[in-house]
Amino acid sequence: MIPVQGYQGQRVAVLGLGRSGLATAASLRAGGAEPLCWDDSPEARARAEAAGFVCHDLTRATAWGEVAALIVSPGIPHLYPAPNKLIARAMAEGVPVDNDIGLFFRSFATDDWDGFDQTPKVVAVTGSNGKSTTTALIHHILKSAGRPTQMAGNIGRGVLDLDPPAEGEVVVLELSSYQTDLARALTPDVAVFTNLSPDHLDRHGGIGGYFAAKRRLFAEGGPDRAVIGVDEPEGVYLANQIATAREDDRVIRVSSARKLGDFGWSVFARKGFLSEWRRGRQVASVDLRDMAGLPGAHNHQNACAAWAATRSLGLAPREIEAGLRSFAGLPHRSQTVAEAGGVRFVNDSKATNVDSAAKALQAFPRIRWIAGGLGKEGGISGLKPYLGAVVKAYLIGHSARDFALELGDVPQEICETMDRAVARAAAEAEPGDTVLLAPAAASFDQYPNFEKRGEHFTALVVAQLGSAV
């Protein structure tokens, strides 16, 4: 646990009592504060009380006396599409509003570090797509190289649930736009921006607000090193805003689409080969094509970002390459779950939007594509340029018929359920085909989350193939 600093002897309200909320309350208490917990759900309040916390009704007119700060869970809106009424009340009362990420950064360093020869560091990863894989990959490379490391944030543990860092340890955080948007402190040593595509637009008031939330990771704290994907205009802009000159090697530009040899420091992948360049010279190269845990150009971008981040932490190319080769990938993200009879079955249930589905559709040569769910605004018309490898689409969920209309002449079948889609795709697949779950839609019509959707797909594949797996 990371005890929260700066609130000793003060009352701090905690709104939202899920995993991060309860961890926040515990960390506040460990730091000497008095946490006052509240959640609209009676069940959540009961869990908090069972854990020994005091529930304090923030809806009462007299609830805000002597409250030093309000700490909110990331899922609670503070501005768009409309601020939560309790957050609005706190702001009107002049009570500072923060989240667990802000508390983490203000509390991470301690006096114990005075005895360290190597101080701990924080790598923070944000972006629209690939941030989970990039975060896990950085953590895996560090671990495989023998460096002490922990991983948290939007993946794995809550940030305040981490152990106090050891000497030289690297904490790797995945941070969503919900987390970066409100945090009052953002001071990573290395900050990574993977890419940007439209998502969560209602929460941020449009694409500009969404990008601004991501940009705060770089603008607020001024990381020592910024690793920035420049395959979209926003990344090009962000790199240009931070760098003081073309040769400024505090900014490491990464790309999976083009050569970047004219900058102070860059890492890029072309035709499956990763190259690192410094001041106009290539200093390292590695073949990514046979790395099973990193299929496709989108994963090659993740590899470039992880390479840049770990190189900036002092790892040697051979150490990073070994970590890349041993990385098995993350569940639900281009995860190969089975191969039988020359057919590969890939679970990319995390591909919940058009941009992430497009990347998955470019990763394999012959695809039997399982898509659908609760479609997002704009449908899947943006995928038309990426359907060349699709042999047939098997459509499920609420948006199946809408997707069928948008696919036009692409061979397709409305299956409605995952069970039927997997059975039909497996029956029709031929050697060389990939049966790919890349829904391009949310899961909430049939599943509580994308993880459960991916787990169901995997279970059906295993059951379908039986002993052939």
Could you please report the per-residue DSSP string of 115-162? G-SS--EEEEEE-SSSHHHHHHHHHHHHHHTT--EEEEESSSB-GGGS
- pLDDT for 313 equals 98
Q: Contact at 8 Å (CB) between 374 and 443?
A: yes
Q: How many angstroms separate the most distant Cα atoms in the chain?
A: 69
Domain end: 65, 82, 98, which one?
98
Q: Residue 428: inside a domain, yes or no?
A: yes
For residue 466, what pLDDT band results from cuts at 50, 70 and 90? confident
**Summary mean pLDDT of the chain:** 94
Q: Label residue 59 exposed, middle or buried (CB < 10 Å: 0-12, 13-18, 19+).
A: exposed
- pLDDT for 330 equals 86
- Indicate if the pLDDT at residue 468 is higher than 80: no
Domain end: 309, 326, 343, which one?
326
Q: Residue 37: inside a domain, yes or no?
A: yes
Count CB-CB contacts under 10 A for residue 222. Answer: 13
Residues 71 and 183 placed together within one structural domain of the fold: no
Q: What percent of the chain shows pLDDT beyond 70?
A: 99
Residues 172 and 310 placed together within one structural domain of the fold: yes
Residues 255 and 139 placed together within one structural domain of the fold: yes
**Secondary structure class of 65 (helix, strand, coil):** coil
The predicted model gives 108-119 an average pLDDT of 94
Residue range(s) defining the domain that contains residue 34: 11-98
Question: Tens of pLDDT along 4-63?
Answer: 999 999 999 999 998 889 999 999 999 999 999 999 999 999 999 999 999 999 999 899
Whether pTM exceeds 0.75? yes
Token duo for residue 50 = 């069972």
Residues 273 and 345 placed together within one structural domain of the fold: no
Residues 393 and 267 placed together within one structural domain of the fold: no
Residues 211 and 301 placed together within one structural domain of the fold: yes
Numbered residues of the known binding site: 127-133
Domain end: 64, 98, 132, which one?
98
Q: What percent of the chain shows pLDDT beyond 90?
A: 87
- pLDDT for 222 equals 86
Residue with tokens 């609830």: 63
Q: Which positions are annotated as active-site residues? A: 131, 154, 200
Q: What is the CATH number of the domain that holds 315?
A: 3.40.1190.10
Count CB-CB contacts under 10 A for residue 401. Answer: 13
- Indicate if the pLDDT at residue 446 is higher than 70: yes
Residues 199 and 314 placed together within one structural domain of the fold: yes
Report the alpha-carbon distance of residue 446 to residue 437 in Å, rounded.
15
Residues 347 and 397 placed together within one structural domain of the fold: yes
Q: Residue 1: inside a domain, yes or no?
A: no
Residues 276 and 384 placed together within one structural domain of the fold: no
Report the alpha-carbon distance of residue 68 to residue 94 in Å, rounded.
10
The predicted model gives 347-370 an average pLDDT of 93
Token duo for residue 441 = 């839609």
The predicted model gives 459-465 an average pLDDT of 94
- pLDDT for 122 equals 98
- Indicate if the pLDDT at residue 120 is higher than 70: yes
Structural domain count, the chain: 3
The predicted model gives 384-413 an average pLDDT of 97
Q: Which residues of 338-349 are buried (b: 16+ CB within 10 A; e: fewer)?
A: bebeebbbbbbb
Pairing of the two strands 281-287 and 273-278: antiparallel
Residues 317 and 443 placed together within one structural domain of the fold: no
Q: Residue 160: inside a domain, yes or no?
A: yes
Residues 29 and 117 placed together within one structural domain of the fold: no
Question: Measuring CA to CA, how many Å separate 56 from each of 4, 45, 60, 67?
Answer: 20, 9, 9, 11
Q: Contact at 8 Å (CB) between 291 and 324?
A: yes
Q: Residue 220: inside a domain, yes or no?
A: yes
Q: What is the CATH number of the domain that holds 373?
A: 3.90.190.20
Question: Tens of pLDDT along 157-202?
Answer: 899 999 999 999 999 999 999 999 999 999 999 999 999 988 788 8
| Cβ-based neighbours of 451, under 8 Å, separated by 6 or more | 331, 332, 349
Q: Residue 469: inside a domain, yes or no?
A: no
Report the alpha-carbon distance of residue 122 to residue 395 in Å, rounded.
42
Pairing of the two strands 34-38 and 97-98: unpaired
Token duo for residue 95 = 């009570």
Q: What is the CATH number of the domain that holds 24?
A: 3.40.50.720
Residues 192 and 94 placed together within one structural domain of the fold: no
Task: Write the DSSP string, 253-310.
Answer: EEESSS---SSSEEEEEETTEEEEEETTEEEEEEE-TT-TTS-HHHHHHHHHHHHHHH
Q: Residue 257: inside a domain, yes or no?
A: yes
Q: Residue 206: inside a domain, yes or no?
A: yes
Report the alpha-carbon distance of residue 319 to residue 335 in Å, rounded.
24
- pLDDT for 469 equals 47
For residue 394, what pLDDT band results from cuts at 50, 70 and 90? very high
For residue 442, what pLDDT band results from cuts at 50, 70 and 90? very high
- pLDDT for 10 equals 97
- Can you count the helices (H) and strands (E) in the chain? 15, 20
Would you give the end-to-end CA distance of the chain in angstroms? 41
- pLDDT for 467 equals 47
The predicted model gives 235-252 an average pLDDT of 96
* Element (DSSP H or E) covering residue 190: strand 190-193
Question: Tens of pLDDT along 318-339?
Answer: 999 999 999 988 889 889 999 9
Q: Residue 292 forms beta bridges with which residues?
A: none
Q: What are the phi and psi torsion angles at 273 (to 5°)?
A: -110, 125
- pLDDT for 297 equals 87
- pLDDT for 61 equals 86
Numbered residues of the known binding site for ATP: 127-133
